[in-house]
Amino acid sequence: MNRDEGAEVVLRLDRISKAFGALKANDGVSLTLRRGEVVALLGENGAGKTTLMNILFGHYVADEGGVEVFGQPLPPGNPRAALAAGVGMVHQHFTLAGNLTVLENIRLGTEGLWSRGQGGARAKVERLSRDFGLAVHPAAKVGRLTVGERQRVEILKALYRDARILILDEPTAVLTPQESEALFATLRKATAMGLSVIFISHKLHEVMAIADRCVVLRHGRVVGEVDTHATDKGALAALMVGGELSLPRAEARAAGTVLMRLMGVTTPDRGAAPGLKGISLELRAGQITGLAGVSGNGQAALAEIVGGLAQPAEGRIALRGKDVRRWSPGTALAEGVARIPEDRHHQGSIADFDLTENAVLEGYRSRFSRRGWMNWRAAREFAETIIADYDVRCPGPSTRIRLLSGGNMQKLILGRAMAPGPDIILANQPVRGLDVGAIAYVQSQLIAARDRGAAVLLISEDLDEIMGLSDVIHVMSQGRLSPGFARGTMTAAELGLWMAGQKFEGADAA
Amino acid sequence: MSAVIDILISASFWAAVIRIASPLILATMGELICERAGVLNLGIEGIMVIGAFAGWMAVYQGMPLWGGVAVAMAAGMLFGLLHSTLTVPFGLSQHVVGLGVTLLATSSASFAYRLMLPEVTSPPKIVPFQPVKVPGLADLPWLGDALSQTALTWAAFAVAGVVAFILYRTPLGLAVRAVGENPAAVEAQGLSVTGLRMGAVIVGSGLMAVGGAFLTLSAFSSFFFEMVNGRGWICIALVVFGAWKPGKAVLGAILFAAFDALQIRLQQTPLGAALPYQLFLALPFILSILALILMSRRAEVPAALMLPYNKGER
Amino acid sequence: MRLEPIANPSALRRLGLPALALVATMAVAMALALVAGANPLAVLGQIAKGALGSKLAVLETLNRATPLIFTGLAVAVAFRAKLWNIGAEAQLYAGAILAVVLGTGVLGSPWVLPVSALAAMLAGAALLLGPVLLKTRLGVDEVVTTLLLNFIMLLFVSYLLEGPMKDPMGMGWPKSTPLIAEARLPRIVDGLRLHWGFALAIIAAVLVWVIQTRTALGFEIRAVGQNPEAARFAGMPVNAVLVKTALLSGGLAALAGWSEVAGLKGHLSSDLSPGFGYTGIIVAMLALLHPLGVILTAIFVAGIFVGSDAMSRAAGVPTYIADMLMATALLFMVLAILLTQVRVVRG
Averaged pLDDT, A245-253: 67
pLDDT per position as a tens digit, A188-219: 999 999 999 999 987 777 888 899 999 998 88
Per the domain annotation, does B301 fall within a domain?
Answer: no
Q: How confident is the model at residue A403 (pLDDT cuts 50, 70, 90)?
A: confident
Q: In the predicted model, what is the mean pLDDT of residues C324-338?
A: 95
B266 pLDDT more than 90: no
Q: Cβ contacts (< 8 Å) between C222 and chain A: which residues?
A: 353
Distance from the Cα of B158 to chain C's closest Cα (Å) equals 28
Question: φ and ψ at C332, to 5 degrees?
Answer: -60, -40
pLDDT at residue B186, as a whole number? 94
Summarize the confidence of residues A251-262 as an average pLDDT: 84
Given this model, what pLDDT does residue C108 score?
66
> How far from the centroid of its chain's Cα atoms is residue C286's Cα?
11
The per-residue pLDDT of chain A, averaged, comes to 87
Model pLDDT, residue B302: 83
| Closest CB to A403 among C7, C222, C226 | C7
Q: What is the CATH number of the domain that holds B161?
A: 1.10.3470
> What is the rounded CA–CA span in Å between residue C178 and residue A376?
49
* Interface mutation target, options A89, A102, A104, A113, chain B, most CBs of B under 10 Å: A113
**C159–B90 C-beta distance less than 8 A:** no
In tens, the pLDDT along C169-184 reads: 767 677 887 777 777 7
Question: Which of C6, C214, C233 is the best substitution to test chain A (most A C-beta atoms within 10 A)?
Answer: C233
Task: Outline where DSSP puts E strands in A320-365.
Answer: 322-323, 337-340
- Per the document, the length of chain C is 347
CB A47 within 8 A of CB A29: no
Nearest chain C CA: its distance from B279 CA (Å): 8
- B92, B78 in Cβ contact below 8 A? no
Nearest CA in chain B to A100: B178
Mean pLDDT of B106-120: 91
In terms of pLDDT, which residue wins out, C212 or A249? C212
pLDDT interval class at C220 (50, 70, 90): very high
pTM as predicted: 0.89
pLDDT greater than 90 at residue B313:
no
Secondary-structure breakdown of chain C: helix, strand, coil percentages, each rounded to the nearest 5: 75, 5, 25
Residue in C135, C157, C324 to test binding to B, most B beta-carbons within 10 Å: C324
Residue A377, pLDDT above cutoff 80: yes
Q: How far apart are CA A402 and CA A404, in angstroms?
A: 6
pLDDT exceeds 90 at position A297: no
Q: How far is CA A455 from the centre of its chain?
A: 24
Residue B196 distance to chain A (closest CA, Å): 10
Q: In this complex, do C230 and A332 lie within 8 Å of one another by their Cβ atoms?
A: no
A332 touches chain C (CB under 8 A): yes
CA separation for the pair A204, A469 (Å, rounded): 19
The pLDDT assigned to A243 comes to: 56
CATH of domain A9-241: 3.40.50.300
What distances in angstroms separate CA C315 from CA B62, B116, C33, one per listed residue?
29, 15, 9
pLDDT-derived band at A148 (thresholds 50, 70, 90) equals: confident
- Å between B278 CA and nearest CA of chain C: 5
- A508 pLDDT band, cuts 50/70/90, is very low
Residues 40-69 of B with CB under 8 A from C: 42
ipTM: 0.92
Highest mean pLDDT among A112-121, B49-58, B263-272, B280-289: B49-58
Touching check for A117 and chain B: CB below 8 Å? yes
**Pairing mode, strands A480-481 and A485-486:** unpaired
The pLDDT value given to residue B58: 95
- Tell whether B219 is covered by a domain: yes
Instruction: Tell me what pLDDT residue A357 has.
Output: 95
> Which member of B93, B194, B292 has the closest CB to residue C145?
B292
Average pLDDT over residues C318-322: 92
8 Å CB contact of C215 and A373? yes
Reduced to 3 states (helix: H, G, I; strand: E, B; else coil), residue A225 is: strand
Q: Which residues of C touch A328 (CB under 8 A)?
A: 235
Q: What is the pLDDT of residue A262?
A: 92
As a whole number, mean pLDDT of residues B103-119 equals: 93
How many percent of chain A have pLDDT more than 70? 95
Structural domain count, chain B: 1
What is the model's pLDDT at position A2? 46
E strand or H helix at A290? strand A287-292
Find how far residue A76's CA is from the centre of its chain: 28
Task: Name every chain C residue with its beta carbon within 8 A of the beta carbon of B230.
Answer: 147-148, 151
Write down the pLDDT at residue B298: 60
Q: Is A107 helix (H, G, I), strand (E, B) or coil?
A: helix
CB proximity C217 to A under 8 Å:
yes
Length of chain A: 510
Fold of A249-336+422-510: Rossmann fold (3.40.50)
Q: Residue B281: name the closest of A112, A324, C151 by CA.
A: C151
Mean pLDDT computed over B161-190: 95
Find the CB nearest C215 among A362, A374, A403. A374
Chain B: residue nearest C275 by CA?
B103
Angle, helix B277-294 to helix C112-138, in steps of 10 degrees: 40
Q: How many other CB atoms are there within 10 angstroms of residue A100's CB atom?
A: 21
CB-based contact C149 B289, cutoff 8 Å: yes
How many other CB atoms are found less than 10 A from the CB of residue A388?
10
Q: What pLDDT was estimated at residue A510?
A: 39
Contact C128, C87 (CB under 8 A): yes
Alpha-carbon gap, residue C42 to A137, rounded angstroms: 71
pLDDT at residue A126, rounded to an integer: 93
Backbone angles phi, psi at B191, to 5 degrees: -100, 165
Residue B302 domain-assigned (yes or no): no
Q: Shortest Cα distance from B175 to chain A (angstroms)? A: 6
Nearest neighbour of B182 by CB, restricted to A59, A97, A110: A97
Phi, psi for residue A278 in degrees, rounded to 5: 60, 50
Interface contact A347-C219, CB threshold 8 A: no
Q: Where are the domains positioned within chain C?
A: 38-316
Subunit contact A95:B189, Cβ cutoff 8 A: yes
Q: Distance between CA atoms of A344 and A462, rounded to whole angstroms?
A: 18
Determine whether the interchain pair C227/A346 forms a contact, defined as Cβ–Cβ distance below 8 Å: yes
Mean pLDDT for all residues in chain C: 90
Residue A507 has pLDDT above 80, yes or no: no
- Residues B296, C138: C-beta atoms closer than 8 Å: yes
Looking at beta carbons, which residues of chain A come within 8 Å of C234? Answer: 329, 361-362
DSSP A317: E
**Stronger pLDDT, A246 or B165, i.e. the higher one:** B165
Check whether C347 has a pLDDT greater than 70: no
Containing A166, the helix (H) or strand (E) segment is strand A165-169
Report CA-CA distances (Å) from C240 to A89, C80, C136, C243.
45, 15, 9, 5
Distance of CA B102 to the CA centre of its chain: 14
More confident residue, A58 or A248: A58
Inter-chain residue contact A361 with C234, CB threshold 8 Å: yes
Q: How far apart are CA A332 and CA C302, in angstroms?
A: 50
Instruction: Say yes or no: A284 contacts chain B, CB-CB below 8 A.
Output: no
Domain range list for chain A? 9-241, 249-336+422-510, 343-421
What residues form DSSP beta bridges with A226?
A214
Instruction: Nearest by CB to A362, from C214, C234, C237: name it.
Output: C234
Nearest partner of C210 among A358, A365, A372, A356, judged by Cα: A372
What's the gap in Å between the CA of B302 and the closest CA on chain A? 8
Most A-contacting residue of B35, B182, B191, B301 (CB-CB within 10 A), to test interface = B182
Task: Give yes or no for A437 touching B (CB within 8 A).
Answer: no
User: What's the distance, Cα to Cα, between the start and end of chain B in Å?
Assistant: 62
Q: What is the pLDDT of residues A324-337, one digit of tens each?
A: 888 989 889 988 99
pLDDT the model gives residue B311: 60
The CATH architecture assigned to C38-316 reads: Orthogonal Bundle (1.10)
pLDDT average, residue stretch A148-177: 90
Task: Please check the confidence at residue B26 and state whether its pLDDT lies above 60.
Answer: yes
Q: Using the beta-carbon criterion (under 8 Å), do C148 and B106 form an inter-chain contact?
A: no
Is B303 among the domain residues? no
Structural domain includes residue B286: yes
Residue of B nearest to C37 (CA): B115
Q: Is A252 on the interface with B (CB under 8 A)?
A: no
Q: A272 pLDDT exceeds 90?
A: no
Is residue C64 over pLDDT 70? Answer: yes
Residue A104 burial (C-beta neighbours within 10 Å; 0-12, 13-18, 19+): buried
Euclidean distance between the first and the last CA atom of chain A, given in angstroms as a whole number: 27
Quick count: other Cβ atoms within 10 Å of Cβ A399? Answer: 18
